[in-house]
Homo-oligomer: A and B are copies of this chain.
Amino acid sequence: MTTTTVRAEPVEALRQAQGERFVFPIRVYWEDTDAGGIVFYANYLKFFERARTEWLRSLGLEQSRLREESGGMFIVSETSVRYLRPSRLDDELLVTAELESAGGASMTIAQQATLKGSRTLLCEGTIRICWVDTARLKPGRIPPIILQAINHTP
């Protein structure tokens, strides 16, 4: 019995062209919803993280590899999110990630989730991530390789 993949590479590494925001599509499944019939609000943090992860990957930054090579990782230190419109089972969302600011030890990423098609804004927020050493979780300076990759983003 042969086997077929229904889509090609889910995300291709790519550097965003100037003036573009990174956008990642996310489908709503049963696991994402709650008894209100809508996506459980805390799950937008998961959607945002998937988009951030793919944004970093698109810049050549894979977190598991960074961790092995540098002994450090990003952790989330602050989240600020507004939930504007509900989404539901089977909806397709487009989730953006855009660098808002980067310091020596932390970065803030602005993110939005919109409904594909109508482009209704569902949810938006900012996520601050800090660099820590993996073993002791002590804050440290973001490795230059990461800042370079991010700053070369137009």
- Kindly report which residue of chain B lies nearest to residue A119, judged by CB atoms: B3
Number of interface residues of A (CB under 8 A): 67
Kindly list the 8 A-B residue pairs having the minimum CB-CB distance in the complex, ordered from nearest: A33-B35, A42-B45, A64-B90, A41-B76, A31-B46, A64-B89, A4-B20, A80-B80
Q: How many copies of this kind of chain does the complex include?
A: 4
CB-CB under 8 A from A24, the residues of chain B are 6
Q: Contacting A46 at CB < 8 Å: which of B1, B3, B29, B57?
A: B29
Contact with B along A1-44 (1 / 0, CB 8 A): 11111110111101011011111110101110111111011110
Docked pose: A17 CA to B6 CA in angstroms: 11
CB-CB under 8 A from A80, the residues of chain B are 79-81
Contact with B along A44-82 (1 / 0, CB 8 A): 011001100110011000111100000001011111111
**A153 interface residue per 8 A CB criterion:** no
CB-CB under 8 A from A143, the residues of chain B are none
16 A-B pairs with C-beta separation under 8 A: A1-B19, A4-B16, A4-B20, A6-B14, A6-B54, A29-B46, A30-B49, A30-B53, A35-B38, A36-B137, A37-B37, A42-B46, A45-B45, A63-B89, A75-B86, A80-B81
